[in-house]
Amino acid sequence: MIASQFEYLKQYLKAKSGLVLTNEKQYLVESRLLPVARRHGHAGLSELVQAMQKPGSTQVCSDVVEAMTTNESFFFRDGTPFQHFKEVMLPAMLKARADRRTIRIWCAAASTGQEPYSLAICLKEAAAKLAGFRVEIIGTDLSNEVLEKAKNGIYSQFEVQRGLPIQMLLKYFTQKGDLWQINPELRSMVQWRKLNLLENFSSLGSFDIVYCRNVLIYFDQPTKVDVLQRMAKQLPSDGYLVLGAAETVVGLTDAFRPVQDLRGLYQTAAAGAQGVVRPRFQVAG
């Protein structure tokens, strides 16, 4: 693949997915796109790039974007964001939403579904506290392939062993040969939609909690700023934003403020100005 073709790929992927590739990542492009090239009958990446530039190349271009977007995910990944959900966010929302009795959660870039299903498990474990509440979980991703897997909720032995306690596996999954499927009751708790974070997502409506973890690290600074500012508009003054451990809003936007002593957890600037009120109880589970 010549330099101009790699440059075309870099520009195309940034425009379509926000992914920023440096020249040092050419090895990654080759390892992920060679199978795509072969699947479409091309001898190598040069032919693949040429095919992308021809009319009627929608499917090839879509397959390239899906192959290059990282879909790493596992149950209760990093632990802390789910502790924050059980001990801080959910108790606060149960108190603040006592009148309307509805809580909406958005998992942006939900990949193969482990994050939304982990939250669904937390909610099932806290069912007694949630009596009378309606909780909606929306999982979005730009990849049709990972969304289809998420909808089916079927995972390998390796996937369920990553972060999922054995008691929860036996309680919420059914074994099917060498695979495990999350039970229908939990699958029904999550709605799945195809969505590109670079595009307008205001049609999703407002949310009380937004999980957007390990996504911003792939964007350049202007894209990070744009996504964060648009997310702030989807949250009420007491809403929460959860980012990955290596991500921050500091230096990017004044729309959010870090929640003191809780890494990766943010509230809107309005809530930050008022001071975060910690709940006096915790949700078990």
Whole-number pLDDT of residue 63: 87
Question: Does residue 238 lie within any of the structural domains?
Answer: yes
Residues 56 and 131 in one domain: no
C-alpha to C-alpha distance for 27 and 78, rounded to whole angstroms: 28
Whole-number pLDDT of residue 1: 66
Residue finishing a domain among 46, 68, 90? 68
Residues 110 and 144 in one domain: yes
Among residues 141, 50, 137, the alpha carbon closest in space to that of 102 is found at: 137
Whole-number pLDDT of residue 133: 95
Strand intervals (E) in 121-208: 134-141, 154-156, 173-176, 179-182, 190-194
Question: Does residue 157 lie within any of the structural domains?
Answer: no
Residue finishing a domain among 31, 46, 68? 68
Residues 108 and 221 in one domain: yes
Residues 140 and 45 in one domain: no
Whole-number pLDDT of residue 271: 60
Residues 88 and 62 in one domain: no
Residues 210 and 127 in one domain: yes
Query: What does residue 99 show for φ and ψ, rounded to 5 degrees?
Result: -80, -50
Whole-number pLDDT of residue 209: 98
Whole-number pLDDT of residue 88: 95
Domain hosting residue 56, numbered range: 3-68
CA 243, chain centre distance (Å): 10
Q: How far is CA 95 from CA 132, 259, 279, in A?
A: 13, 18, 8
| pLDDT, mean of each 10-residue run, the chain (285 residues) | 85 88 83 89 89 88 83 86 96 94 96 96 95 96 91 94 91 96 97 94 96 91 94 95 91 92 88 47 45
Query: Quick check: 89 and 163 in contact, CB under 8 A?
Result: no
Burial class (CB in 10 A: 0-12, 13-18, 19+), 65: middle
Residue finishing a domain among 45, 68, 91? 68
Specify the number of domains making up the chain. Answer: 2
C-alpha to C-alpha distance for 181 and 23, rounded to whole angstroms: 40
Question: Does residue 158 lie within any of the structural domains?
Answer: no
Residues 113 and 193 in one domain: yes
Place of tokens 């990070």: 224
Question: Does residue 165 lie within any of the structural domains?
Answer: no
